[in-house]
Amino acid sequence: MKNKPYASALYLPFGDNALLIEFGDVISLEVNRKVIALNETLKKAKIQGIEELVPTYRSLLVRYNALKISYEQLVFRIKDIEQTLKDIKIEEVGRKFTIPVIYGGEYGPDLNYVAKYHRITEEQVVKIHADKEYRVYMLGFVAGFPYLGEVADEIATPRLETPRLKVPAGSVGIAEKQTGIYPCEAPGGWQIIGRTPLKLFNPLQQPPALLAPGDTVKFKPISEKESQNIEKDSVKRTLPFLEEQ
């Protein structure tokens, strides 16, 4: 199996009521842009029978009602739509967010390990992590958890050998070339280097997740006092740092 984008998308049945569309077998911006493009276009097309769209790094899962549309009809409709995507500029689809993070200490218990692993200082880890913009490739693991990439090689670090039973909400972690944010308390094995006071998931809001595939995230180091001030302000916690386009 070659790790590269496919010349043409693969359409595969996925159980009795889902279609899996794969664009490659590698994590890349090119592949993910195709996924997001088709996802956004199908949302607007409102094909009768489609019940859910689940974009991932390299594929799009389409759940459908077989009583309203057959597998063959669905594939025909989507392939027809896919042909129109060549002129879509995916980089214009996503929004840009600045996420405030307090790094290290009790908020980032693994920052020291990441620094030692790469033989650099904690300050250098923070600077490298915060200097880069990250793409939201997909949401998963728990509701609203953004998989962001790609982390610079200088701080890319393996997961913990033994996952923690509890990782606090807002924790910012690194796992290999990925970085991510825990939207709620959950078990996990990522290297935790900081924490944001923002709420990434609220089931009472629409959409409930703050971030979406195709968005861009940049982290901003803040002090403990700044973090506490944001936590006290419910508006700032739920309507954060969306940059002007």
- pLDDT band at 174; cut points 50, 70, 90: very high
Burial class of residue 207, CB neighbours in 10 A (0-12, 13-18, 19+): exposed
Burial 159-183, CB ≥16 within 10 A → b, else e: ebeeebeebebbbbbbbeebbbbbb
What pLDDT does residue 1 have? 40
**pLDDT tens for residues 18-71?**
999 999 888 888 899 899 999 989 999 999 999 999 999 999 999 999 999 999
Q: How many angstroms separate the CA atoms of 99 and 227, rounded?
A: 11
Q: Tell me what percent of the residues of the chain surpass a pLDDT of 70.
A: 91
Is 50 exceeded by the pLDDT of residue 96? yes
For domain 96-238, give the CATH number: 2.40.100.10
CA distance 183 to 11: 32
Average pLDDT over residues 207-220: 93
Q: Are 149 and 179 in contact (CB under 8 A)?
A: yes
pLDDT of residue 4: 74
Integer Rg of the chain from CA: 19
Cβ contact 214:96 at 8 Å: no
Strands (E), 35-107: 50-55, 59-64, 96-103
Is domain 5-92 annotated with CATH 1.10.10.10?
no
What span, in angstroms and rounded, lies between the C-alpha atoms of 13 and 88?
26
Residues contacting 57, CB < 8 A, separation 6+: 27, 31, 32, 35, 137, 138, 147
Residue identified by tokens 């924790």 is: 171
With cut-offs at 50, 70 and 90, classify the pLDDT of residue 94: confident
Which strand (E) or helix (H) includes residue 232?
Answer: helix 224-232
Tell me how far the alpha carbon of residue 64 is from its chain's centroid: 24
In the chain, where are the structural domains located? 5-92, 96-238
DSSP-derived 3-state class of residue 93 = coil
Angle at 75 between CA 73 and CA 79, to 5 degrees: 120
Give the pLDDT band of residue 3 (cuts 50, 70, 90).
Answer: low
Mean pLDDT of the chain: 90
